[in-house]
Amino acid sequence: DVVGRLHEELFQACEAAMMRRSFLLSAAVLLFLTFSETALADVFDGPCRKYGVPKTLALAIAMQESGGNPWAVNVAGKSYQPASKADALSIVRRAQEKSYDIGLMQVNSQWLRRFHISPETAIEPRNNVLLGVWILASSIREHGMNWKAVGAYHSPTPARQQQYARLVARHLKKFYRTK
């Protein structure tokens, strides 16, 4: 099936990409994935099922995007890891008209403007994952179930898509290693 083929393709690609890894990063990924499977599992289950996106892929993207921090914010390329929703929203308010990414899936402000979604709504983990998985599913519909679709979640630029897909592949491989 398509999901099985994607998982196999992603795993094989990861095999080549992951020759070296640091203990600290591996421990952080393991902690995130353990937390995700317990505390965040239901947050990803519904949207992934609804849009036909592999949950492991959505989790790998969330790890790449936010490191599993539901309050993560990126403003014009500068990442912030605030400890609270209030702190995250304060950073977003200061961003004014700059481009920003918000939440677990780092949903870009252009999507929020396009669909008239407030940052307060978008940062809630359930809403953020639902929107992020919908964006990923749209990319998969456009490009097929492949690395281009994964890269297009992050950027329209081919070189940045390839780099991003490799980073997501690393997280995906670590996820499979912890199973």
pLDDT of residue 97: 84
pLDDT of residue 2: 42
Cα 52 from Cα 123, distance rounded (Å): 23
pLDDT of residue 41: 67
- Residue 100 carries which DSSP code? E
Structure tokens at 161: 């898509």
Q: Give the dihedral sign, CA 125/80/56/48.
A: positive
pLDDT of residue 56: 94
pLDDT of residue 28: 42
pLDDT of residue 36: 45
- Strands of the sheet with 107-108, listed across from one edge: 78-80, 73-75, 100-102, 107-108
Q: Taking a C-beta distance cutoff of 8 angstroms, is the pair 102, 137 a contact?
A: no
**Gyration radius from the chain CA atoms:** 15
pLDDT of residue 98: 92
pLDDT of residue 29: 44
pTM score: 0.78
Q: Taking a C-beta distance cutoff of 8 angstroms, is the pair 140, 149 a contact?
A: yes
pLDDT per residue rounded down to tens, the chain (179 residues): 444 444 444 444 434 334 333 333 443 444 444 444 456 768 999 999 999 999 999 999 999 999 999 999 999 999 999 999 999 999 999 997 899 999 999 999 999 999 999 999 999 999 999 999 999 999 999 999 999 999 999 999 999 999 999 999 999 998 788 76
